[in-house]
């Protein structure tokens, strides 16, 4: 984590509610724990890997990608040393190709579909190859795209997450003027504030965003849009990509005790402060079993919790998280309690928590803990009403109920095309 001043006031900050005794890890250990989980390939390793690809026709890896990146084409360009061309193939269809290379659930998308799986071989390391190409253009500041000839049309975008910024990038390439409104002090949405630190760091997320802004996208941070109708009086079209709202409440006693917090707040604090400044209990309980719960429990463990345990009211087979995420948490030494329904969070009597009471098949039980992280899913953003209107377009998590970066990017790209068609009658430009 780099400088914290850019995060502004209230970036996941809160009063310390969990005592932070001597069990905390050293800064060096914390750096190691949050280092990239999938380190980049060397040039030689990338060439070797690229040459393993069969360059399939109707490649299933491409079909499996929501943005339909031409995987064999970009891998072929890596094999011939053309990293710029390779990155272009990727980023042309996925403006968030950098972050997707680090955080996409490739096990269930492109790599899961690779034909080599059918031969009981390891799939091609598509994500790492994608990272190899996209890192090259980011690090060498190669500008692959430019703004199109001005059309005189103005589009407002609400939310600077992957959906909004994907839409913004393509609209700029088509020549439209774009203003993005963002509530937070920094753009990027959950890429900047939410993705597990060992997958994607905020600095990388922000560098990727800057590349898009450099096309001449106007960004207004610290602005929360309250009325789409008002924007419609000033702009020719509006795209809404506001993501999801707060973590849902458990609705059990003790939920508001100090020492209880939601997963998004916990992760955001970790990503926007030096690691040692994020509170972690000695015995952490995470309620929920989705991918966010896994991110919370693994990061609590990596912050130095002696025990970090998922508590889930259903069975192991019912866990909504990806199987590989579950395996990661197990490898990190996290614990799992299934068929344990939270009933009450117990106060320690001195401003913290001492346990979570759960109902099990055998009756009632208390799981001792000094920190509880709630990760039972986010609700919709209800504050902003999105009118049904031919000039209003919606995409990303707020439209699909919560998916992945790549789905948000695909939505933004598709919306830009529809907006362009509406504004120009389909004239190609840029
Ligand atoms: C903890 C967590 C971990 C995740 N890990 C992964 C992962 O590893 N891999 C993966 O592919 N996906 C992951 N996801 C999902 C991924 O982050 C989202 O699918 C993606 O960010 C959705 O993009 P979006 O643009 O729709 O919304 P967001 O990224 O949420 O961006 C929406 C933006 O809109 C802004 N906004 C909201 N309301 C307003 C308003 N009224 N005015 C102005 N601005 C507003 C918000 O501040 C925010 O910046 C994760 C999600 C979570 C919660
Ligand atoms: S399916 Fe596998 S082998 Fe075939 S093109 Fe895709 S990555 Fe290469």
Task: Give the pLDDT score at 1.
Answer: 43
**Domain coordinates in residue numbering, the chain:** 43-139, 154-245+380-424, 247-374
Instruction: Report whether pLDDT(218) > 90.
Output: yes
Cα angle, residue 17 at apex, residues 13 and 23 outer, rounded to 5°:
105
CA distance 301 to 309: 9
| pLDDT tens-digit map of 149-167 | 999 999 999 999 999 999 9
Ligand 1 contact, 182 CB (< 6 A): yes
**Residue 10 in this model has a pLDDT that exceeds 50:** no
User: pLDDT at position 2, please?
Assistant: 39
412 lines ligand 1 (CB under 6 A): no
Closest Cα to atom 3, ligand 1: which residue?
A: 195
Report pLDDT for 15: 53
Fold match, 43-139 / 154-245+380-424: no
Residue 428 predicted with pLDDT over 80: no
* CA 156 to ligand 2 centroid distance, Å: 39
Ligand nearest to the CA of residue 79, numbered in listed order: 2
Which pLDDT belongs to residue 169?
98
Residue nearest to atom 9 of ligand 1 (CA): 103
Residue 425: per-residue pLDDT: 87
Rounded distance between C-alpha atoms, residue 155 and residue 106, angstroms = 33
pLDDT at 3: 38
For ligand 2, atom 2: residue with the closest CA = 114
What is the residue-averaged pLDDT of the chain?
A: 94
Q: What is the DSSP letter of 376?
A: S
Residues sharing a CB contact under 8 Å with residue 289, sequence separation 6 or more, in sequence order: 310, 312, 314, 318, 319, 320, 321
Indicate if the pLDDT at residue 20 is higher than 60.
no
CB 25 within 8 A of CB 33: yes
pLDDT digits (tens, 9 = 90+) for 413-426: 999 999 999 999 86
Whether pLDDT at 4 is above 50: no
Q: In what order do the strands lie in the sheet with 177-182?
A: 218-221, 177-182, 154-158, 237-240, 392-394
Q: Is a pLDDT exceeding 80 seen at residue 351? A: yes
Which ligand lies nearest to the CA atom of residue 385 in the structure?
1
Q: Are 373 and 53 in contact (CB under 8 A)?
A: no
User: What is the per-residue pLDDT across 336-347, written as a single tens digit (0 to 9) for each?
Assistant: 999 999 999 999
Q: What is the mean pLDDT of residues 217-238?
A: 97
State if residue 294 touches ligand 1 by the CB under 6 angstroms criterion: no
Could you give the residue ranges of the DSSP H alpha helices within 348-404?
Answer: 397-400
> What CATH architecture applies to the domain 247-374?
3-Layer(bba) Sandwich (3.50)
Predicted-complex ipTM score: 0.99
**Order of strands, sheet of 341-347, starting from the edge strand that comes earlier in the sequence:** 341-347, 353-360, 363-368
114 close to 124: Cβ distance less than 8 angstroms:
yes
CATH superfamily of 154-245+380-424: FAD/NAD(P)-binding domain (3.50.50.60)
Q: How confident is the model at residue 301 (pLDDT cuts 50, 70, 90)?
A: very high
Which residue among 103, 157, 159, 198 has the greatest number of ligand 1 atoms within 8 angstroms of its CB, and so is best to mutate?
159
pLDDT for the residue 290: 97
User: pLDDT tens across 104-113, in order?
Assistant: 999 999 999 9
Residue 336: how many CB atoms within 10 A of its CB? 17
Q: Which CATH architecture has domain 43-139?
A: Orthogonal Bundle (1.10)
Instruction: Report the distance separating Cα 347 and Cα 27, nearest Å.
Output: 31
Q: Read off the pLDDT of each residue in 354-359 and give the average, rounded to a whole number.
A: 98
């Amino acid at each position: 984590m780099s400088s914290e001043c850019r995060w502004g006031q209230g970036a996941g900050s809160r009063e310390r509610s969990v005592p932070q005794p001597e069990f905390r890890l050293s800064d060096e250990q914390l750096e190691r724990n949050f280092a990239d989980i999938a380190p980049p390939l060397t040039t030689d390793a990338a060439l070797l890997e690229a040459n393993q690809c069969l360059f399939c026709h109707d490649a299933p890896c491409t079909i499996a990608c929501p943005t339909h990146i031409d995987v064999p084409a970009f891998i072929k360009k890596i094999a011939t040393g053309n990293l710029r061309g390779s990155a272009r193939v990727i980023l042309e269809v996925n403006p968030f190709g950098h972050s997707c290379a680090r955080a996409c659930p490739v096990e269930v998308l492109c790599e899961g579909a690779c034909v080599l799986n059918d031969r009981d071989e390891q799939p091609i390391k598509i994500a790492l190859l994608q990272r190899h190409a996209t890192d090259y253009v980011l690090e060498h500041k190669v500008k692959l795209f430019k703004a199109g000839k001005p059309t005189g049309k103005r589009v407002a975008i609400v939310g600077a997450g992957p959906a909004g910024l994907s839409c913004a990038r393509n609209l700029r390439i088509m020549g439209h003027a774009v203003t993005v409104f963002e509530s937070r002090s920094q753009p990027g949405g959950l890429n900047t504030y939410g993705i597990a630190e060992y997958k994607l760091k905020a600095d990388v997320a922000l560098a990727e965003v800057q590349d898009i802004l450099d096309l001449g996208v106007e960004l207004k941070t610290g602005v929360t849009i309250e009325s789409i109708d008002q924007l419609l009086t000033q702009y020719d079209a509006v795209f809404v990509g506001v993501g999801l709202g707060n973590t849902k409440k458990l609705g059990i006693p003790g939920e508001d005790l100090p020492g209880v917090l939601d997963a998004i707040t916990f992760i955001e604090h970790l990503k926007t402060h030096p690691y040692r400044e994020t509170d972690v209990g000695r015995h952490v309980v995470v309620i929920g079993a989705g991918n966010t719960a896994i991110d919370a429990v693994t990061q609590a463990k990596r912050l130095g919790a002696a025990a970090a345990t998922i508590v889930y009211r259903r069975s192991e087979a019912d866990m909504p998280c990806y199987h590989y995420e579950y395996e990661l948490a197990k490898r990190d030494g996290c614990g799992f309690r299934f068929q344990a329904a939270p009933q009450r969070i117990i106060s320690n009597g001195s401003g913290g928590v001492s346990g979570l009471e759960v109902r099990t098949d055998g009756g009632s039980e208390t799981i001792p803990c000094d920190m509880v992280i709630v990760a039972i899913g986010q609700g919709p953003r209800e504050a902003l009403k999105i009118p049904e209107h031919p000039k209003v377009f919606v995409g990303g998590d707020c439209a699909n109920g919560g998916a992945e970066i790549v789905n948000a990017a695909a939505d933004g790209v598709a919306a830009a095309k529809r907006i362009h068609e509406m504004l120009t009658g389909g004239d190609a430009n840029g």
